[in-house]
Amino acid sequence: MLARAGAPVTMVGRPAFVEAVNKDGLLLDTLQFQDTVRVQASTELSAAAGADVVLFCVKTTDNAATARGLAPLLAPSVLVVSFQNGVDNVEQIRAAANLDALPAVVYIGVSVPEPGKIKHAGRGDLVFGPRSDKTEGLAALFERAGVPGRISDNMAGELWTKLLWNCALNAISALGRVKYGQIAASAEARRVVRSCVEEFWAVAGAAGIRFPDLQDVDAAFAGACKIAMQMSGALSSTAQDILRGKRTEIDSLNGYISKRGAELGVPTPVNHALYTMIKLLEGR
């Protein structure tokens, strides 16, 4: 969307993606339009040298290696923005390479049916924070490209809110090989979602997390069901990874809640079961 709006964008990816984009452009098949966008693409991290903004979009399992590869290439003034699932990516990036990244929350349902083709299934909005000249500039940049964003002074709460939806829906979508709407339509699946959310809420409370828009566990469960309906046609990123035989980010999702629950003395049997079953599928 940035490139479509005229910004100079370079994408860094794996060979199949880069070859497809350099040959035919990037096809955006969205709910609003279809368009092919011409954008530079490279397999080398060195293509990030000279950038003003770096959108850090790798899976959480690749945080340390990517941060260490990027650090020598970037000027001190570069804005590195974590566009990732999970709540501790900024800390991981800083610990690995002393890079100060800004957190962002990304709400979008998409899939990649083949390299260079993006299928949009729902939403497409961002949250930045805390409020500063940098985050306000980022939000304005994306607004000009048709991507709505807002600023929050409670980024911990925003990140945990997104983690809540991921924990409630991603693993169930992957294990059942179903889209979010099918989860919302199943009374039995909603019971599992409810149990997962109750455990999550207890862990978040013990961790001192203050949610910006959720007052209690009932609101949290209702929110998970609402997200499932808003992106009813989406298959979770965890499900997409499993279907492709790739590693997932489950350690940063239900696995993170299981780990934090153990540290805080909060039982999380449902989150731990979902995490364990995904890890077993990964092992296959």
What φ, ψ does residue 7 adopt, rounded to 5°? -75, 145
Q: Taking all residues of the chain, what is their mean pLDDT, rounded to a whole number? A: 96
233-245 pLDDT, tens digit each? 999 999 999 999 9
What φ, ψ does residue 251 adopt, rounded to 5°? -65, -30
139-171 pLDDT, tens digit each? 999 999 999 999 999 999 999 999 999 999 999
Distance CA 56, CA 103 (A): 10
173 Cβ contact list (under 8 Å, min separation 6): 179, 180, 183, 235, 236, 238, 239
Strand partners, 151: 128
Given pLDDT bands bounded at 50, 70 and 90, which one contains residue 104?
A: very high
- Domains and their CATH numbers in the chain: 10-152 (3.40.50.720), 156-283 (1.10.1040.10)
Query: What pTM did the predictor assign?
Result: 0.93
Token pair for residue 232? 């009813």
135 Cβ contact list (under 8 Å, min separation 6): 102, 128, 129, 151
